[in-house]
Amino acid sequence: GQSLEQPSEVTAVEGAIVQINCTYQTSGFYGLSWYQQHDGGAPTFLSYNGLDGLEETGRFSSFLSRSDSYGYLLLQELQMKDSASYFCAVRDAGNYGQNFVFGPGTRLSVLP
């Protein structure tokens, strides 16, 4: 089976940097993805790490360490619009690799 752990809540101020961690346990591993979801909205894709290291996309970066079964999402220069829930997700190696598992989500609150 698979399980992912994330902090339930994180609070930061505008302009700050925040890191959201994700640890996972899977029977197989095809990479770690991150999604953002605003209240009442649909999840939207942010980033994907298939290999160890840092991936950067604008103000957002994502890191993966497969040996530690650990990854994080780094948000820089926080803006009020970044207040949302953030989910990490992995793809199970079984079921033809299409069984996705999402973490419980981290609710980020950005304060003025």
Partner 1 sequence: TAGITQAPTSQILAAGRSMTLRCTQDMRHNAMYWYRQDLGLGLRLIHYSNTAGTTGKGEVPDGYSVSRANTDDFPLTLASAVPSQTSVYFCASSESGEGQPQHFGDGTRLSIL
- Shortest gap between Cβ of 112 and partner 1 (angstroms)? 27
Candidates 9-17, 20-28, 65-73, 98-106: pick the segment binding partner 1 (CB under 8 A).
Answer: 98-106
Cα 90 to chain centroid distance, Å, stands at 10
104 interacts with partner 1 by CB under 8 A: yes
Q: At residue 73, what is the residue type?
A: L
> Which residues inside 51-80 make contact with partner 1, applying CB under 8 A?
none
In the numeric block, which tokens belong to residue 14? 């505008």
3-state helix/strand/coil string of 29-54: CCCEEEEEECCCCCCEEEEEECCCEE
Stretch that binds partner 1, among 12-20, 59-67, 68-76, 93-101 (CB under 8 A): 93-101
Burial class (CB in 10 A: 0-12, 13-18, 19+), 79: exposed
Does the footprint of partner 1 cover residue 7 (CB under 8 A)? no
Site residues (CB under 8 A) for partner 1?
Answer: 30-31, 33, 35, 41-45, 48, 50, 87, 89, 95-96, 98-105
